[in-house]
Amino acid sequence: MTKFSDLKLSPKVLKAIDEAGYESPTPIQAGAIPPALEGRDVLGIAQTGTGKTASFTLPMISALARGRARARMPRSLVLCPTRELAAQVAENFDVYAKHVKLTKALLIGGVSFKEQDQLIDRGVDVLIATPGRLLDHFERGKLLLTGVQIMVVDEADRMLDMGFIPDIERIFGLTPFTRQTLFFSATMAPEIERITNTFLSNPERIEVARQATTSETITQELCMFKASRRDRAASEKRKLLRALIDREGDKCSNAIIFCNRKTDVDICAKSLSKYGYDAAPIHGDLEQSKRMEVLDGFRAGTLRFLCASDVAARGLDIPNVSHVFNYDVPGHAEDYVHRIGRTGRAGREGKAIMICEPRDEKNLDAIERLIENAVPRVDNPLKADSPLKDEKPKRSRAKPDEEKAEKPVRKRRTEKPKEDVVEAAPAEQPQPEAKPERNERNERNERNERNKPRGRGNNRGGGNKVVGMGDHLPEFIAKSFDERRAG
């Protein structure tokens, strides 16, 4: 059996490993550390929870033990997709490099630029960063990457999902061509394979397990759920989640509950807290200080349930997670592997339970095709209760009475014989008496028109006749006529 002492690591690193309580490396560590120490590029593919972080931190510390960093020019660079994963990598460096004088800096969002600039100005041996914050420092002229000797890309498939691939390509272009590159991922998408072919030089490929496989130490279960009514689906689904937690009893010492949307993360955590479950949310919209506070509480055991988005699905090493609940079926099949990989780590037993609605069956089929196994189905613990029965909701008393009153009317209308309609048609034709009525109305209108006053006054009656121009001739007009005749 291979031991860390057989991997040609430096004595100070071996001492730190021994103090941490580790004796034997995992398969990915045993395969990746020797070529990394030789200075070769490494492409590591392994399922989550297999110790990929130590696969690059240990050889990096041994290689960087000699030398000194210059201001604003880090000697090594580690890129991580999330703040939490970057912080966890930094913690690993603290554990394994405590007997080696190496400086490090953590560049993540949610932290003051001023503090990070001060660390960079002093010079750092190891720079751990998320791509966005790293490029922010570079564009502000606070950082140079021309001195990078070792570059690590951790959780590369997650980088692809989060849209970081263009940033990764740009960062590769800012580093020296002679750098050593260590590339680690749980899956190998075509886009990631293209990057490895472009930026890695004859890499040592270590694939310790089939891509996207789940650990054998994890017991998987699937609970099918169908709401009694559409407007009750959310509340009934949360009730089912509580019932699944209660069914596990004391076996569920702590758990991560994954939701697809950030709003559902908040709602789920609030609902659990309302019913007496110790829960808190964590997702990308929270402030970094709050995210770290919640994560530290979960690691310390003061928080039992962590409601999370996929920000906690990759790379977070919390060894004692007993359960993972997929409140939503993930939209990407690979995310299922990463989510349930938060439990059953380091050889421990774990359990993953997923709730599936009818609309999620397409995503479920994709998951089962990926892992090449059917997820075992379990009975709904609330199936015996009326709220979650797959029955139509009972109608109120008023509705059947109204329907009974309406049905006979509709029936008489639909069953009315066509002959009645045909016989009634002539009766609806205009009667001969209608024409004289129209003639009398026309005559009355003509009489009124003849008797209508011709003047411009407001006399609307017909009593006083208005004097017109033919009955009275003004003098000035008559005078003008007389003058013409005389002329």
Which residue, 388, 405, 420, sits at the end of a domain? 388
Number of domains present in the structure of the chain: 2
Expressed as residue numbers, the domain containing 63 is 4-207
**Co-location of 184 and 225 in the same domain:** no
The full length of the chain comes to: 487
CATH assignment of the domain containing 368: 3.40.50.300
Q: Is residue 429 part of a domain?
A: no
Q: Which two tokens stand for residue 264?
A: 């559902």
Q: Report if residue 466 sits inside a domain.
A: no
| 285 plus 323 within the same structural domain | yes
Q: Which of 335, 353, 388 is the last residue of a domain?
A: 388
Let me know whether 179 and 307 are in one domain. no
Q: What is the pLDDT of residues 142-178, one digit of tens each?
A: 999 999 999 999 988 878 777 888 999 999 999 999 9
* Distance in angstroms between the alpha carbons of the first and the last residue of the chain: 147
Same domain, 274 and 192: no
Residue 472: what pLDDT? 62
> What pLDDT does residue 159 have?
83
**Domain match, 65 and 140 both:** yes
378 in a structural domain? yes
On whether both 152 and 233 belong to a single domain, the answer is no
In a domain? residue 478: no
The list of the chain residues with pLDDT below 70 reads: 1, 48-49, 209-213, 312-317, 346, 384-444, 446, 448-487
- Predicted model pTM: 0.64
Q: What angle do CA 95, 96, 99 make, to 5 degrees?
A: 100
Q: Is residue 422 part of a domain?
A: no
Indicate whether 64 belongs to any domain: yes
Structural domain contains residue 72 = yes
pLDDT reported for residue 485: 59
Query: 190 and 228 share a domain?
Result: no
pLDDT (tens digit per residue) in 395-411: 444 444 444 444 444 44
Residues 153 and 183 in one domain: yes
Per-residue pLDDT at 55: 93
Instruction: Determine the pLDDT at residue 453.
Output: 58
User: Residue 269 and residue 307: Cα distance in Å, rounded?
Assistant: 6
The answer to whether residue 137 sits within a structural domain is yes
- Residue 93 CA to residue 400 CA, distance in Å, equals 71
Left (φ > 0), alpha (ψ -120 to 50) or beta: where does 72 sit?
Answer: left
Identify whether residues 91 and 135 lie together within a single domain: yes
Do 294 and 324 fall into the same domain? yes
The pLDDT, as a whole number, for residue 486 is 58
Boundary residue ending a domain (366, 388, 410): 388
Cα gap 38→202, rounded to integer Å: 13
Closest CA relative to residue 44, chosen from 214, 194, 183 = 183
* Residues 173 and 312 occupy one common structural domain: no
Whether residue 40 is found in the same domain as residue 132: yes
- 255-258 vs 305-308, strand pairing mode: parallel
Ramachandran area for residue 39 (φ above 0: left; ψ -120 to 50: alpha; else beta): left
- State the pLDDT at residue 391: 40
